[in-house]
Amino acid sequence: TKTLRETLQDVIPAKQEQLKKLKTEHAQAVVGDIKVENIIGGMRGLKSMLWEASVLDPNEGIRFHGLTIPDCQKVLPPAPGGKEMTAESMLWLLMTGQVPTAEQSRQLSQELASKGQLPAFIEQLIDSLPQTLHPMTQLGIGVAALNHDSSFQSAYEKGMKKSEYWTHTYEDCINLLARLPALAARIYRNVYHPGKEIPAIDKDLDLVGNYTNLLGFGGNKNLTEYLRLYIALHGDHEGGNASAHTSHLVGSTLADPYLAYSAALYALAGPLHGLANQEVLRWQQAMQKELGDNVTHDQIKEYLWKTLKSGQVVPGYGHGVLRQADPRFIALQEFCESRPELMASSTIQLVKKTYEVAPDVLKEHGKTKNPYPNVDATSGCVLYHYGLTEYKYYTVIFGVSRALGAITQLVWSRALGLPLERPKSLSMDALEKLIKSS
Active site residues: 273, 319, 376
- If binding is defined by CB under 6 A, does position 344 make contact with ligand AMX? no
Footprint (CB under 6 A) of ligand AMX, residues 358-417 = 367-370, 374, 376
User: Out of 251, 257, 316, 405, which residue is the one contacting ligand AMX (CB under 6 A)?
Assistant: 316
Give Cα 119 distance to the centre of its chain: 25
Task: Report the 10 Å Cβ neighbour count for 421.
Answer: 15
Q: Give the range of 94-102, 166-174, 212-220, 314-322 binding ligand AMX by CB under 6 A.
A: 314-322
Of 36, 74, 175, whose CA–CA distance to 119 is shortest?
Answer: 175
Kindly state the DSSP code that residue 78 receives in the 8-state scheme: B
Rounded least distance, CB 319 to ligand AMX, Å = 5
User: Out of 272, 286, 343, 430, which residue is the one contacting ligand AMX (CB under 6 A)?
Assistant: 272
The rounded distance, in Å, linking the Cα atoms of 84 and 227 is 9
Rounded least distance, CB 360 to ligand AMX, Å = 13
Footprint (CB under 6 A) of ligand AMX, residues 106-145 = none
Q: Roughly what angle, to the nearest 10 degrees, separates helices 87-96 and 102-114?
A: 110
The rounded distance, in Å, linking the Cα atoms of 111 and 94 is 18
Residue with Cβ nearer ligand AMX (274 or 399): 274
Of 165, 53, 179, whose CA–CA distance to 111 is shortest?
Answer: 179
Distances (CA, A) of 155 to 104, 251, 275, 335: 29, 16, 36, 45
Q: Give the range of 8-16, 216-224, 307-315, 415-423 binding ligand AMX by CB under 6 A.
A: 307-315
Residue with Cβ nearer ligand AMX (172 or 376): 376
The rounded distance, in Å, linking the Cα atoms of 257 and 245 is 13
- If binding is defined by CB under 6 A, does position 318 make contact with ligand AMX? yes
Residue with Cβ nearer ligand AMX (78 or 274): 274
Using DSSP, state whether 395 is helix, strand or coil.
Answer: helix
Rounded least distance, CB 371 to ligand AMX, Å = 8
- If binding is defined by CB under 6 A, does position 313 make contact with ligand AMX? yes
Strands (E) across 27-180 are located at 54-57, 61-64
Binding footprint of ligand AMX on the chain (CB under 6 A)? 272-274, 276, 308, 313-320, 367-370, 374, 376
